[in-house]
Each structure stands twice: as structure tokens, then as C-alpha cells.
A and B are shown apart, each in its own frame.
Chain A
Amino acid sequence: MTHRHLLPNEIDLLLDEESGFGVRPLREHVRGCADCRDRLDAAKRVASRLSELPLIAPRYGMADRVMAQVPVFVPWHEAARDAVTPWIPTGRVPRLAAAAVTGVAGTLITGGTLWVAARGDLVATLTGLAGEGAQAAATDAAGSFVVAVFGPQVVTVMQQMGAWGLVAAAGGFAAASLATIVGLRHVATTTRARS
């Protein structure tokens, strides 16, 4: 037991209900000393009044006022997840089924891609065939257009003359188109001037 009155920091130790080696003698002293008990009671009364202070509410709508000025940042991976989430079934069985279908599809696509990549010659052949097909289709379409516009004789002449014939025909067509446009514009201008 302590034979002197407690120091202010010792009163604080008791007030904060500290436990430890040095606190027990302080408690014993307080039990036997009316003066120190009185001081501790006064300190407890103040602490009690403080802890009973009510929380005060701000004006209604604090969250709205704050959120109006806070930019909510959504990371890209969260945004992507949000976009995908609605497509994921909620039930356990549908989810397992969806996972199985996705897994099978993914495996097939991956396997197919790897198989095609491993066969470079096949890819080249298929690409060549596709290119030739596209070229033939384009030539046919152009030939049909020329036949419809100039007649089959022109096509025969162009075939006989080869590439130069094609260039001469294209040049002649361009010149004729230009002459037609200029002529029509001249006629229109003259007609407007007369009226």
C-alpha cells in the first residue's frame, strides 16, 4: 500500500482502469484514503459526463450533398465484371451447365485454331483458293458490266488487244464521260442564260 497521496497521473491510471503490477497498490491506497477516493470520484464524474455526451446529427441529406461532389471511380476490371455478371446464371445447376458449355466451346475453338496453325500448307492452299475465287468473281462482274454498257463486240476487241486494250478502253470511257459532263454543263448554262 502507498503511504502518500496519489499523483494526478496515478489517478488517471485508475480512471482508465489500467491493470498491471503498479496499479494494485494504488487501488489499495484509495480504499483507505478518503482524500484520494474523493479525487478519483471527481475524476470519474467528469469522465462519466463526457461519455454520456450525445452524438449530434447533421442536417438531413449529408450523403447526397457529399456524393454530389465525389467522383466514383470504377476500375476497368470491375466494369468488365459488371458487364459479364448479368449473363452468368444464378442457380447452381445452370451455372455448372454454362461453365461446361463454355469449357467445351473454348476447348474446341482452341484445338481448331492450333490444328489450323500447325498446317501451314493447308492454310496457304485454302487462302489461294479463296483469293482465286474472289478474283474470278470480280472479273465476271466487271465483264458483265462492260457487256451491258458497250456490247459484246467491245469485250471481244478488248480480249484481243490484251492489257493495252483494257487501258485504252478505260481511257476512252473516262474521256467520253468527261466530255459528256462538260457538254451537259454547257447546255445547262446556256439555257439558264437565255431564260
Chain B
Amino acid sequence: MKPSSVLDLANLPDADVVALAQRGREPAYRELIRRYERPVFSLVYRMVRDRELAEDLTQDTFIKVLSHIEKYRSEFKFSSWLFKIANNVAIDHLRRRQLNTVSMDGSPHATNADLTQATSFELPTHDETPLQELEARELGSEIERAISRLRPEYRACILLRHVEDKSYEEIAATLDLPLGTVKTYIHRARHELRKLLDHLREDGAETPVEEPL
């Protein structure tokens, strides 16, 4: 392999960029961050629904992965490894938050969307900060709100399946779940989303999904 200084890193497959990072090439580290900062941030942001927190958790994810890059084994897809860490970081945070606070998104013991909705509550709206406004624009569409009502496990599965376009097998490897469980989670998530979005079909309109700034 040529030295990284004369390589166009953007055109290399992940495995080669990781190999360069393992050889101590800093541009390769930066290339991996450039490739995955949006997908990882999007996943984490949709999991925790707090922009600042998602920034911190995304940063933690990359620090964890890149600090142990020498432990990466090429038989595993790099993106799967990265999403696994990102998902674990987000789920750990959500679990800690559940222990410390009452969830606005509904009871953690709710077993279906109706119970989740029944046990959720909304705070009265006050003047929004610019960050809250940005969050409302980014995650305020009907589909985003519907995703937020799913259990975190369902949320991770459905996002990896439809946003990241991962196969069931990849999702199972990424989330350390049996293949059957992944299929069940995705099936239930789709079912709940269909129910949550059913009224749109009848109304024939949806709040448009706005592009991020």
C-alpha cells in the first residue's frame, strides 16, 4: 500500500483506511470520522433526541473506537463495529436517564405504543432557545415523533434497517442480538409506526420533513 500522503483516502474502502489508521496515520483517523460523523450522529440524535447530548455521545463513540483501533479485526465490518459502540453508548445513556428521571416519552415498562402514549406527557411550551428550535426543526416531523415513541431497541433496529440500509444479519451482529429477535423488533417497530402514522393516511397530509441546517 502507498503511503497515506500520496493516497486519495476518500476513494479507499473502509478496511484500507482502518489499516492506515492502525499504522499511525492521522489523516486516516480523520477520514473515518469524516465518513461516519453524520450517520453516527443521526443515529445517536434520534435515539436520545437532544442535540448537545448527541454531540457528546457521538464524540465519545469516536474516541472509544479510534483509541482502540488496533483491536479492530477486519473480518467484522468497520461500520458495524462503530454503530455497535454508538448504539451501546446511546442505550447506556438512556438507561441511566431512566434511572434518574421520569420519562416524557412514556413508561419504560410500556409494552406497546398505546401504553407508551398513554403514559407519556408533554411540558407546557415556553419560549424556545435557538437549540430547541433547531431540534424541533430536525426532529419535529411526524415520522421523527413516531420514531421517538418506539422503544430504544426497536428504534435502533428500524433506523439501522431503513436509514442505514443494513441487512438483518448486519443489524444482529451490530446490536449483538439473535437474528430472530432483530426480525421481531423490526416487525413490531413497523407495526407501531404504521399505527402511529395511520391518521396521516386518512388526512392525506404530513408535516414535511425539513432538511437540516
Contact = CB atoms under 8 A, between A and B. Distances in A.
Contacts of A56: 38, 41-42, 45, 138, 212
Interface stretch (A60-68, A142-150, A175-183): A60-68
Given A8-B187, A46-B193, A74-B23, A55 B62 contact: no
Contacts of A73: 24, 70
A22 interface: no
B201 A70 contact: no
Interface in A14-67: 15, 42-43, 45-47, 49-59, 62-63, 65-67
A62 B37 contact: yes
A56 B48 CA distance: 14
Contacts of B39: 55
Contacts of A72: 24, 26, 29
Q: Which of B62, B147, B197 has the most CB of A within 10 A?
A: B62
Contacts of A9: 183, 187
B24 A50 contact: no
A73 B25 CA distance: 9
A58 B144 contact: no
Contact of B59 (A12, A66, A79): A66
B38 A46 contact: no
Interface in A98-114: none
B209 interface: yes
Interface stretch (B76-84, B88-96, B157-165): B157-165
Interface residues of B, number: 47
B24 A66 contact: no
B45 A70 contact: no
Interface of B is mostly: helix
A43 B191 CA distance: 8
Interface residues of A, number: 35
A89 to B, nearest CB: 15
A37 B23 CA distance: 54
B143 A50 contact: yes
A70 B194 contact: no
A61 to B, nearest CB: 10
Contacts of B26: 67, 72
Contacts of B183: 9, 12
A70 B63 contact: yes
A55 B138 CA distance: 10
Interface string B150-162: 0000000011011
A78 interface: yes
Contact of B63 (A52, A69, A79, A85): A69
Q: Which of B55, B165, B190 has the most CB of A within 10 A?
A: B190
B23 A58 contact: no
Interface of B: 3, 23-24, 26, 29-30, 33-34, 37-39, 41-42, 45, 54-55, 58-59, 62-63, 66-67, 70, 138, 143-144, 147, 158-159, 161-163, 165, 183, 186-187, 190-191, 193-194, 197-198, 201, 206, 209, 211-212
Interface of A: 8-9, 12, 15, 42-43, 45-47, 49-59, 62-63, 65-67, 69-75, 78-79, 85
19 contacts: A8-B191, A9-B183, A9-B187, A12-B183, A12-B190, A15-B190, A45-B201, A46-B193, A47-B162, A50-B147, A53-B143, A53-B209, A56-B38, A56-B45, A58-B41, A59-B55, A62-B33, A70-B29, A75-B24
